[in-house]
Amino acid sequence: MTQEFATAQDVEDAFYDALEEGDAERLRNVWESSDEIVCLLPMQPMLHGAEVHEAFRPLTSGEIRLDIQVRHIRWLEAGDLAIHFVEERVSFSGNPPQPPVYALNIYRKGAAGWRLLTHQNSPTPLPPGSGPPPGMATP
Amino acid sequence: MTQEFATAQDVEDAFYDALEEGDAERLRNVWESSDEIVCLLPMQPMLHGAEVHEAFRPLTSGEIRLDIQVRHIRWLEAGDLAIHFVEERVSFSGNPPQPPVYALNIYRKGAAGWRLLTHQNSPTPLPPGSGPPPGMATP
């Protein structure tokens, strides 16, 4: 049974809910059913298609419980694509939250409604006093 | 004098050419002229609008010469948006290339043709043998 999403925001809500619930089927259903999906996490290889679902498996194994706070930063919409910049604060199994990370989620509207097309995380700046920020090493 | 771009790829070529040439005016012209532009570099604050142009200023000051190799990974296009995942290898002032970084460039077609809307860099995995890869810390 697949859920249909009327808006990109509905997909985003379902994505983070499924992660918090560790619900593998629901998590898989938020993604577009295609080889074009992309997941990019810092220092990890870029993942495509079925690799994406594989990568999320540890988060739905029941061993880790996630609590995710999402803060919306910027939305861009054009036609059948929606681009959401958010900030995530994630706690694992009741521990204090990890440093916040930026996430860029891109949604696409297809025959089956809106679905998640790409998910990308980026580290945020170090907190003040924890050392000099790295230079602008690459354009 | 502003150049018009007929395709997203034309913008991308002009973006990296302008960086290599340190051409501030050309670089500014590849970006969409709006407050919606976003630049996100690892460990840096997310930049919007005029902040983006400010951030690139050191790269067009003439003090640093860049050589950028771009490898295309994946393109997604839908209507007036184009999403390009690429890998950049950047050399600074004739030094050996830095480790490669992923870049996600999003282009939007408007009244003035295609322009760069967002530019985001992400670190790639460490080379084999340089230590264990970090765990999948955040979804």
Biggest CA–CA distance in chain B, Å, is 50
What's the pLDDT band for B1 if we cut at 50, 70, 90? Answer: low
Name the residue in chain B with its Cα closest to that of A27. Answer: B139
**What is the mean pLDDT of the segment spanning B33-53?**
94
Residues 6+ apart with CB under 8 A from B115: B5, B11, B30, B31, B32, B33, B107, B108, B109
Name the residue in chain A with its Cα closest to that of B44. Answer: A125
CB–CB contact B43 A136 (8 Å): no
Does the residue B136 lie in any domain? no
Question: What is the rounded distance in angstroms from the CA atom of residue B100 to the CA atom of residue B87?
Answer: 6
Question: What is the rounded distance in angstroms from the CA atom of residue B88 to the CA atom of residue B99?
Answer: 9
Instruction: Say which amino acid occupies B17.
Output: D
What pLDDT was estimated at residue A17?
Answer: 97
**Residue B61 pLDDT more than 90?**
no
> Of the candidates A43, A74, A125, which has its C-beta nearest B126's C-beta?
A43
Q: Which residues of B touch A81 (CB under 8 A)?
A: 78-79, 81, 83
How close B108 gets to chain A, by Cα (Å)?
9
> Of the candidates A78, A125, A136, which has its C-beta nearest B80's C-beta?
A78
Residues of chain A with pLDDT under 70: 1, 130-139
Name the residue in chain B with its Cα closest to that of A108. Answer: B78
Does the residue B91 lie in any domain? yes
What is this structure's pTM? 0.88
Does the residue A96 lie in any domain? yes
How close A122 gets to chain B, by Cα (Å)?
6
CB–CB contact A136 B81 (8 Å): no
Does the residue A84 lie in any domain? yes
What pLDDT was estimated at residue A136?
Answer: 45
What pLDDT was estimated at residue B136?
Answer: 45
What pLDDT was estimated at residue B43?
Answer: 87
Question: What is the rounded distance in angstroms from the CA atom of residue A57 to the CA atom of residue B67?
Answer: 39
The residues that bridge with A87 in the sheet, in sequence order, are A71, A102
**What is the mean pLDDT of the segment spanning B37-55?**
94
CB–CB contact A120 B124 (8 Å): no
How far from chain centre, in Å, is Cα B1? 22
Q: What is the CATH number of the domain that holds B51?
A: 3.10.450.50
**Residue B102 pLDDT more than 60?**
yes
CB–CB contact B74 A36 (8 Å): yes
Name the E strands within B8-112.
38-40, 47-48, 66-78, 81-92, 101-110
- When the pLDDT of each residue in chain B is averaged and rounded to a whole number, the result is 89
What pLDDT was estimated at residue A79?
Answer: 87
Structural domain boundaries enclosing A96: 8-123
How close B1 gets to chain A, by Cα (Å)?
24
Instruction: Encode pLDDT of B68-87 as tens digits.
Output: 999 999 999 888 999 999 99
* Number of separate domains in chain B: 1
> Of the candidates A104, A125, A136, which has its C-beta nearest B58's C-beta?
A136
Of A82-91, A100-109, B11-20, B57-66, where does mean pLDDT reach its minimum? B57-66
> Of the candidates B36, B121, B133, which has its C-beta nearest A43's C-beta?
B133
Does the residue B131 lie in any domain? no
CB–CB contact B138 A108 (8 Å): no
Instruction: Encode pLDDT of B119-138 as tens digits.
Output: 999 988 887 776 554 444 44
Buried b (16+ CB within 10 A) or exposed e, A61-91: eeeeebebebeebeebebebbbbbbbebbbe
Question: What is the rounded distance in angstroms from the CA atom of residue A59 to the CA atom of residue A15?
Answer: 12
Instruction: Say which amino acid occupies B41.
Output: L
Reading the block at residue B114, the tokens are 């295609």
The CB density around residue B76, as the number of other CB atoms within 10 Å, is: 18
Question: What is the rounded distance in angstroms from the CA atom of residue A122 to the CA atom of residue B57?
Answer: 22
**What is the mean pLDDT of the segment spanning B9-37?**
96
